[in-house]
Every structure is written in structure tokens, then in C-alpha cells.
Structure 1
Amino acid sequence: MKKYFVYILTNKSNRVLYIGMTNNLPRRIWEHKQRLVKGFTQKYNCTKLVYFEETESVHAAIEREKQLKNWRRQWKINLIAKNNPDWEDLAEKFNLLRDAEPRDPETSSGRQERDVILNLFQDLGIKCTKLSQASPFSSLHFIF
């Protein structure tokens, strides 16, 4: 059974919070730390993993990500503080990056992942308005 993760990143000063989801936490965190993920995390230098949780399905991960994104900032801070009081970089603490397996987004596995995600969102009735054919990690823009 495939694992899915919802995670929260912050910057060095712990002022900016970013919430995301993935099916490969070590690889995704490695991508953020290498600043390969264009957009919000690159702009605000969100590279510190301060919270993550595992879900049983991609649907559960998407729902949890949406739930956390709708929370007030203080609730997110409380969630992090309860589980990681010192706001340590959990990627370093648990040595997650040793398991990171970056892959070329041009490979068939990269395209397959993009297609699976696109099909899932379409099944949920979410229309995709922009999708780079070159990379499964490019920004996806959806209309809810």
C-alpha cells in the first residue's frame, strides 16, 4: 500500500508556513531543500520540515492538506508546537534525506505521477487550468 504524507515547511525564522502533500516525503523535502520546487517555497525559502503526518490514501492526504490550509495560523502553530516544540528540522532529526531518490521528471515514472494526480483531481471535479508537460513537480493551478 502506498503511503501519502501531508507536511508543513517553514523558513529559518519560522515566520512563513507552507503546507503540501506527497507520496514520497524524503524526495519531496530534498526537492524543497535544493530549491527545485518553483513558486512559494522557493520565493520564501521554506526548506525546514517542522511537521508531517502519514495518511492511508491520496484522498485522505488531499482532504487533510485542504483542512490544514483552511486553519487559522495560530492553530497551525499550535499543531507544530505540540508535536515539535523546538521547531527542529525533522528531515535532519530523522535523517529523511538519506532516503531521498530524486528522479528525472522527463522519465516515464515522472509523467505517470503527473497523470495520476491530474486524473485524481479531475475525478474530484477539480478543473486543471495549467499543467506543465515537462515536469510533474510544476505548479498545478486548479479551479474549485
Structure 2
Amino acid sequence: MKAGFVYIVASRRNGTIYTGSTSNLIQRIHQHRGGTVEGFTTEHDCKLLVWYECHDDLQEARLRERRIKKWNRE
């Protein structure tokens, strides 16, 4: 089974953040940095990887992503 990753990218230190999940972390971060991912991360210039964690599979990673997105950011 292929591993899954949850990650957070930011626009800068203490800036706008985006939480996502993927099965290929290196490729996904390159996509964010290259601007090939349309949407929130491109609009807010989120290119700096600030955190990630590995899970046994992508389904686990996506569940964790959803839980993280519900956190209070204050």
C-alpha cells in the first residue's frame, strides 16, 4: 500500500497557510512552488513547506487533513 502525507505550506513565516494531502509529497511541493496548482495556494503564494507527517495510506492522510482543517487557528 502506498503511503500518504499531510502537509502545510505557507506564504511566509506566520503567513497564510494551506493544509493538503498527497501520495507524493516531493512532487506536490514542486507543483506548489512552480505555480502549477491553481486555486488557493497560487492566489496566496503558499510555497514554503512548514510541516508534514507520513501515514500508512492516502485515506488515513485525508482523514487527518480534514481533522487539521477543523482546528481553531487562533
Smaller-chain TM-score bracket: over 0.9
Match of 2:9 in 1: 9
Match of 2:27 in 1: 27
Identify the structure with bigger relative contact order (alpha carbons < 8 Å, sequence gap 6+). Answer: 2
Segments of 4+ in structure 1 off by > 6 A?
Answer: none
Instruction: Give the structure with the larger helix fraction.
Output: 1
Instruction: Give the structure with the larger strand fraction.
Output: 2
What SS class does the counterpart of residue 46 from structure 1 fall into?
coil
Tell me the distance in 2 between the aligned counterparts of 1:37 and 1:31.
6
The TM-score, its normalising length taken from structure 1, stands at 0.49
Tell me the distance in 2 between the aligned counterparts of 1:57 and 1:3.
4
Say which one has the larger Rg: 1
Is 2:24 the counterpart of 1:18? no
Number of corresponding residues: 74
Tell me the distance in 2 between the aligned counterparts of 1:28 and 1:38.
12
How do 1:1-144 residues align onto structure 2 when only pairs under 5 Å count?
A: 1-74=1-74
Unaligned runs of 5+ in 2: none
Please tell me the residue identity of whatever aligns with 1:38. E
Tell me the distance in 2 between the aligned counterparts of 1:55 and 1:6.
8
Tell me the distance in 2 between the aligned counterparts of 1:5 and 1:17.
16
Tell me the distance in 1 between the aligned counterparts of 2:13 and 2:61.
27
Unaligned runs of 5+ in 1: 75-144
Q: What's the Cα RMSD here?
A: 1.0
Per-residue CA distance 1:42-101 (angstroms, 9 max, x = gap): 000000000000011222111100000000114xxxxxxxxxxxxxxxxxxxxxxxxxxx
Please tell me the residue identity of whatever aligns with 2:54. E
What SS class does the counterpart of residue 60 from structure 2 fall into?
helix
The TM-score, its normalising length taken from structure 2, stands at 0.94
What SS class does the counterpart of residue 36 from structure 1 fall into?
coil
